[in-house]
Amino acid sequence: MKRYCLFLLSLFALYSCKSKVETISPKRESITESVYASGILKSKNQYQVFATINGLLQKVFVSEGDTVKKGAPLFAILNETSKLNRENAQLAAELTDSKSNQAKLDELLINIDLMKDKMLNDSLLMARQQNLWSQNIGSKVDLEKSQLNYQNSRTNYKSALLRYKDQKRRLDIADKQANKNLQITLKNEGDFTIKSITDGKIYSILKEEGEMVNTQTPLGVIGDAQDFILELQVDEYDITSIRIGLPVKVTMDSYKGEVFDAVITKINPIMNDRSKTVTVEASFVKQPPSLYPNLTLEANIILQVKDNVITLPRKFILNDHFVIKENGDTTAIKTGLKDYSKAEILEGITEKDILILPK
């Protein structure tokens, strides 16, 4: 009796082991070859706003969620050194202003008139002395003296003209230089008011008024208020298969159970050395109603689709080239397209074959 019970238990165990072997038959269906990529959402034209100079964040003109136009002021930064430079430039511009220096030029003009009058007077005296000398009246010394006086006065007149022209040129140059310097300092000071470079929405304010800021730390994040792009990271082994225009199937944790269609629009021309991935951008065919920057997503970039082909789950394929039939025989097969779970069967088995799962 004991031996009979043991025999029944052995048969039951053997039957149980056999019943646990998973079997399957290939079936005819569609298969899609795709490349997996993870990524995030970004608003179109999204960028981080940086300070143009180190200083104190004096004023924040916007709040998170605000929409702004291109050129709208976002932040004002106070820099005491630049303020002093601007004040110095203003003083220098006032000092060299042509109106402020007109008195110097007027003084030179008066001197020119005096030199001209003296030259004309000396010219008359010389002519009179020459006339007397021609009548044998007067001495040669007086004639030569009148000629020398005229030459000196003419030289002085020309020198006065040159001094005026030179002084005017110097004052004009100084005035232009001072005004240029003032424009530069005003431009630099204008850079302390950070403005939006695009129409968009304020997604984040990262600094508060009164905080010290520098050119390396972002002040906020701004981007398009309506349009979003998908920023995908594609592995270097897959990137050569990616082309602009390929369709993409997208899933997001924020939209559980839904799949969205997108299209590849841009492939960045450089690989990230650290992650060994290339950034690829895609756009929604029909954008979901509510989106936020930095939402995570997963995507399958569709390379090609085949319909009405024989497929088999990849877990039933041994070393990519063999399957095990129900009778235990190992059969060679040839595969075609593959996705993450199944493969196209080109040769070796049919839909009528029953296969077992390799151990």
Residue 197 carries which DSSP code? S
pLDDT at 80 (0 to 100): 62
Q: Output 113-122 pairs: Cβ under 8 A, ≥24 positions apart.
A: 114/160, 115/153, 115/156, 115/157, 115/159, 115/160, 116/157, 118/153, 118/156, 118/157, 119/150, 119/153, 119/154, 119/156, 119/157, 121/153, 122/146, 122/149, 122/150, 122/152, 122/153, 122/154
Taking CA atoms, 7 is separated from 4, 87, 248, in Å, by 5, 107, 59
pLDDT (tens digit per residue) in 9-43 = 444 444 444 457 899 999 999 998 899 999 999 99
pLDDT at 3 (0 to 100): 45
Looking at the chain, list the stretches that DSSP marks H as alpha helix, in order from N- to C-terminal side: 2-19, 80-95, 102-134, 140-190
Residue 33 carries which DSSP code? E
Helix, strand, coil tally for the chain in percent (to 5)? 35, 35, 30
Closest of 260, 238, 263 to residue 251, by C-alpha = 260
130 and 143 Cβ atoms separated by less than 8 Å = yes
Mean pLDDT of 81-95: 63
CA 327 to chain centre: 64
Query: φ, ψ for residue 349 (rounded to 5)?
Result: -145, 165
Tokens of 241: 């298969």
pLDDT (tens digit per residue) in 224-236 = 999 999 999 999 9
Mean pLDDT of 41-64: 92
Residue 53 carries which DSSP code? S
Taking CA atoms, 309 is separated from 32, 318, 344, in Å, by 11, 20, 7
Residue 319 carries which DSSP code? T
pLDDT at 1 (0 to 100): 44
pLDDT (tens digit per residue) in 91-121 = 666 666 666 667 777 788 888 889 888 888 8
Q: For residue 354, give the H/E element and its range.
A: none
Q: Tell me the percentage of the chain whose pLDDT exceeds 70.
A: 86
Tokens of 21: 């072997």
The confidence band for 176, taking pLDDT boundaries of 50, 70 and 90, is confident
Mean pLDDT of 182-207: 82
Q: What is the mean pLDDT of the chain?
A: 86
Closest of 254, 237, 317 to residue 288, by C-alpha = 254
Tokens of 271: 């690989």
212 and 67 Cβ atoms separated by less than 8 Å = no
Closest of 281, 228, 222 to residue 254, by C-alpha = 228
Is the pLDDT assigned to residue 323 strictly greater than 50? yes
333 and 317 Cβ atoms separated by less than 8 Å = yes
pLDDT at 100 (0 to 100): 65
Cβ neighbours of residue 218 closer than 8 Å, sequence gap 6 or more: 48, 49, 50, 206
In the block, residue with structure tokens 């899609």: 32
The confidence band for 247, taking pLDDT boundaries of 50, 70 and 90, is very high
Q: For residue 20, give the H/E element and its range.
A: none
Tell me the β-bridge partners of 272.
277
The reply to whether the predicted model has a pTM over 0.75 is no
88 and 230 Cβ atoms separated by less than 8 Å = no
pLDDT at 146 (0 to 100): 81
pLDDT at 45 (0 to 100): 92
Weakest-pLDDT range from 187-191, 202-206, 226-230: 187-191
